[in-house]
Structure 1
Amino acid sequence: MASFQSDGLTLAYESFGTGLPVLCIHGFASSGKVNWIDTGWVEALTGAGYRAIVLDNRGHGNSDKPHDPERYYPGDMSRDALALLDHLGIERAAILGYSMGARISAFLAFEHPERVVCAIFGGMGMNLINGLRDGNEIIAGLLAPSLDDLTHRTARQFRIFADHTGSDREALAACMETSRQAMARADVRRIAVPVLVAVGEEDVMAGAPDALADLLPQAEAFVIPKRDHMRATGDKAFKAAALGFLGRNFV
């Protein structure tokens, strides 16, 4: 993977295709490869004529992994995304984020609307404002000596996922402390770019997509049929809705 510098960290990325740029920001405990390449998103985007730029967030994948929770606020991570656009000489891009990546995308769209053509918030509804209820349990699960000690369902899911991806669990625990910072309702109302809010029908982690879309000045909601938070990522209906949204807003 190629790399760039942001906030004293070396962060990894890959770029595919040559069309209009779509910056893909993955979710918590994932990576650019797991979230976007392995699920077929890069193939779908490049097949539709877009350039897919896949970032490994700080603390994840092949990027640096500080253990200090103060390094993981979503505003700081959104500035990593901005630094990547600067590194690549891209003035404006569409942003595709999932879960934590959607929160990062929201902060980027709010703070730098001049750089964002449109945004897709996957796996993130009203919990953009309400915050993540199970965060402390997830931290405890990541730091637990063994998976056998865990009974909390969401904590077990993320521990299994982190172990599957070979993640630095201490870095992820630090990330979970601060990356779940909620966005102020008034700031959400000021995100002026077009947004697609896409949440799985069975997703209990994201919050209501319609309620969030109603707060955004230019937004539409899409419910991903029969999917929960973990299984919605690479869903075909999600991809189709996202490509349709991009086709209407990024030409």
Structure 2
Amino acid sequence: MPTFASFDGLQLSYTVWEGRGRPVLLQHGFAADTNANWIAPGVVDTLQDAGLTVISLDARGHGRSAKPHDEASYGDDAMVRDVSALLDSLGLDEVSMVGYSMGAMIALGAVAADPRIRCLAIGGVGSGIVDFGGVDTRVVTPEAISEALLASDPSTLPPSSAPFRALADALRADRIALAAVARGTANPKLDLTAIAVPTLILAGDTDPLAAEPERLAAAIAGARLVRVPGDHMAAVMHPAFGSALTGFLTSHDL
């Protein structure tokens, strides 16, 4: 997988699948990576079958990208700035962007900051974005996620934070880096009124972190909402997710 130096010199990993039309940039969720969020669930295959060029970025602290252990490396919209740095590195004038969960928050920040993002699709988020600007703290807090990642005995974790630890362990992720991510990105600054591109919101019908997605859709001008079967982990794997995503992206590939 190729790498590039981001705005602060950190080496980040990305993958490109060549196709046609406007490239689609994928940004995965917390503790996941390109494979877990996009390849294994079949999303990359679905987009490739539609002939699209696909690019996936492993966020800092994740996958094959560098994994600093200090939370300052993740503050000040670092992951949003990474997106623009990747577009600079690849010399791209325009992309569509897709983000899931943490990746959705990154994508929301990126589309407001970078005019090269012409189309947006997000999943795994709902009214928590409207009410808290990020993770729905009625379900789980960034502090609880960080504590779960660093706990010596994961069997004692509450149901709200245990899945994050389980995913990190399953992927053999750097849990210290992920705990720093959780702390460093706890208070994103998202201005939904600054989003002026075609937007699709995909929400699992039993996903507690995507509760009341209609409120998020109402807060973004012209946004379209599609509910798909599944909870936070399963929704992205359902064929309805890939089908709705591909239909939206191809219809706005102008």
Q: Tell me the TM-score normalized by structure 1.
A: 0.94
Q: 1:62/1:233 Cα in 2 relative to 1: closer, same or farther (>3 Å)?
A: same
The aligned residue for residue 125 of structure 1 is 126
Task: Supply the RMSD in Å over aligned alpha carbons.
Answer: 1.3
Shift of the alpha carbon at 1:217? 1.2
Shift of the alpha carbon at 1:61? 0.5
Match 2:160 to one of 137, 141, 154: 154
SS in 2 for 1:80: helix
SS in 1 for 2:209: coil
Shift of the alpha carbon at 1:181? 2.2
Distance, in Å, in 2 between the alignment partners of 1:56 and 1:38 is: 15
Over residues 18-51 of structure 1, what are the superposed CA-to-partner deviations in whole Å (9 max), with x where a residue is unaligned?
A: 2120000000000011111111111111110111
The aligned residue for residue 208 of structure 2 is 204
The answer for unaligned runs of 5 or more in structure 1 is none
The answer on whether the counterparts of 1:100 and 1:180 sit within 8 Å (CA) in structure 2 is no
Q: What code does the residue aligned with 2:2 have?
A: A
Distance, in Å, in 2 between the alignment partners of 1:223 and 1:242 is: 11
Over residues 34-78 of structure 1, what are the superposed CA-to-partner deviations in whole Å (9 max), with x where a residue is unaligned?
A: 111111111111110111101100000010001111222372101
Q: 4+ runs of 1 displaced by more than 6 Å?
A: none
Match 2:175 to one of 157, 169, 172: 169
Shift of the alpha carbon at 1:182? 4.0
Distance, in Å, in 1 between the alignment partners of 2:205 and 2:166 is: 23
Between Structure 1 and Structure 2, how many residues are aligned?
A: 246
The answer on whether the counterparts of 2:77 and 2:188 sit within 8 Å (CA) in structure 1 is no
The residue correspondences of 1:38-187 to structure 2 (distance < 5 A) are 38-73=40-75, 75-112=77-114, 114-129=115-130, 130=132, 131-132=134-135, 133=137, 134=140, 135-150=142-157, 152-184=158-190, 187=191
The answer on whether the counterparts of 1:25 and 1:105 sit within 8 Å (CA) in structure 2 is yes
Distance, in Å, in 1 between the alignment partners of 2:187 and 2:228 is: 25
Q: What code does the residue aligned with 2:119 have?
A: C
The answer for unaligned runs of 5 or more in structure 2 is none
The aligned residue for residue 234 of structure 2 is 231
Q: 1:196/1:111 Cα in 2 relative to 1: closer, same or farther (>3 Å)?
A: same
Distance, in Å, in 1 between the alignment partners of 2:156 and 2:162 is: 9
Q: What code does the residue aligned with 1:13 have?
A: Y
Q: What code does the residue aligned with 2:161 have?
A: A
Over residues 181-231 of structure 1, what are the superposed CA-to-partner deviations in whole Å (9 max), with x where a residue is unaligned?
A: 2445xx202211111011111111123211111111121111112x11111
Distance, in Å, in 1 between the alignment partners of 2:16 and 2:3 is: 11
Shift of the alpha carbon at 1:8? 1.8
The answer on whether the counterparts of 1:74 and 1:181 sit within 8 Å (CA) in structure 2 is no
The aligned residue for residue 9 of structure 2 is 8
The answer on whether the counterparts of 2:100 and 2:123 sit within 8 Å (CA) in structure 1 is yes
Distance, in Å, in 2 between the alignment partners of 1:169 and 1:162 is: 7
